[in-house]
Amino acid sequence: MGKLGRLDKLVLKGYKSIKSIEIEFGATNILIGANGVGKSNFIGFFNFMRKLIEKELELTVAQMGGANKVLHFGKKITQEIEISLLFTPNGYKAVLIPDEQDGFIFKKEIAYFFADMIEYSGGTKSYDLKNVGNKESKLPDRPHTASATGHIVGYINDWKVYHFHDTGKSSPMKQPSRVDDYYSLATDGHNIAAYLYFIRQKHEQTYNKIIKTIQRVAPFFHDFILEPDIANEEMIKLRWKHKGSDLYFDANDLSDGTIRFICLTTLLLQPNLPTMILIDEPELGLHPFALQILASLFRVASNKTQIIASTQSVTFADFFDIEDIVIVDTKDNATTFSRIDTDKYSEWIEEYTVGEMWQKNLIGGVPNYD
């Protein structure tokens, strides 16, 4: 993807398992690490930021169990959360402190414009939002291009963490959805039928790519049957046709891995990609060949958007470049993030793949007791 609007760096202090981190991002960022080291906390932070700009911070913190649960080891250990985001060419900084009701109030909120990043004159400009003591952000309600704050809202506005893990009979993906629920693919895939229906109607070439990609992993699959319900034309359900058969099937007839792959393929090939795609363990239930196709979809999508994904799969990690990998560990009861030092591990890189180095505990990212 282009540099404009990309998240280049994050400094985060005092959030859940994260005591203090500074991490730089590329177009594709694959988090590897053991269970419980903080990968999900980190990915969840991006939802936290989206709720912050939507002026739902107070509600979100309450749903998370209060400020004491959000602060690193609680209020007795950590007194504030510090957030610094560096985009191109903007920045955002906020400091949150707990109040007497176990919520958060703003201690500081500042936006920045870094003119030199895009070869403009004027240097760095800061915009203090004068947001002291308030429970919600003073960023604009809507994204716009007239100011640094408007750009920042635009960058963060559609950060979403996608979870297509629930594939049981009551799975949202297997239930009917409203035909007009097609603005964007839902994070749990509940509107997958309506969204595919919209893509077929308005973006036929993209729809055909989605179908062909699904067929590479599920050769029995012919096409979707995407029509509003006869009994209720406001609703639509995911149905499909088996290759070589006139019978119609619904989502309950798909394997768990297949329906997840359908959602992932639609997400990554959609015509209007969000500014960032965040996925927690996309490899669940997928065959190794499907993982290879999925990694290819990541590479294609990363030309237009930024991707952050966590994985437990050595096989999936093997399909990415060294530069894409972020190692997540714990040290002194805090989550740490690091990149692979290509100079330090040059001999290992020549001999082993990323997954093999991970599996052999040459680069970290495995269970340890510190």
Cα–Cα distance, 309 to 343 (Å, whole number):
25
Q: Which of 236, 230, 237 is nearest to 251 (CA)?
A: 237
pLDDT of residue 1: 52
Sign of CA dihedral 336, 337, 343, 344: positive
> Does residue 89 have a cis peptide bond before it, meaning omega lies within 30 degrees of 0?
yes
Collapsed DSSP state (helix, strand, coil) of residue 348: helix
pTM of the model: 0.92
Does the structure show a pLDDT above 60 at 369? no
Sort 97 into a burial class: Cβ within 10 Å, 0-12 / 13-18 / 19+: middle
Percent share of the chain, pLDDT over 70: 98
Percent of the chain with pLDDT over 90: 75
Cα–Cα distance between 177 and 175 in angstroms, integer? 6
The answer to whether 328 touches 363, Cβ cutoff 8 Å, is no
Q: What is the pLDDT of residue 238?
A: 95
Query: pLDDT digit string (tens) for 27-54?
Result: 999 999 888 899 999 999 999 999 999 9
Residue with tokens 């004027």: 122
Give residue 3's pLDDT: 61
The reported pLDDT for the residue numbered 342 is 81
Averaged pLDDT, 136-150: 91
Each residue's pLDDT tens digit, 337-363: 999 888 887 777 888 888 788 887 878
Residue 368 to residue 35: CA distance in whole angstroms: 10
The two three-digit tokens of residue 280, written as one number: 């927690």
Identify the band that residue 136 occupies on the pLDDT scale cut at 50, 70 and 90.
Answer: very high
**Candidate from 12-26, 100-114, 157-171 with smallest mean pLDDT:** 157-171
Residue 370 has pLDDT above 60, yes or no: no
Q: Is the pLDDT of residue 189 over 90?
A: yes
DSSP string computed for 253-285: GS-HHHHHHHHHHHHHH-SS--SEEEEE-TTTT
Give 153's Cβ-side CA count (13 Å radius).
Answer: 17
Residue 141: per-residue pLDDT: 92
CA dihedral 11, 111, 183, 187 (to 10 degrees): 20
Three-class secondary structure of residue 97 per DSSP: strand
C-alpha distances in Å from residue 211, one per residue of 175, 185, 225: 21, 17, 12
pLDDT digits (tens, 9 = 90+) for 226-278: 999 999 999 999 999 999 888 889 999 999 999 999 999 999 999 999 999 99
* Average pLDDT score over the chain: 92
Rounded CA-CA distance 313/301 in Å is 20
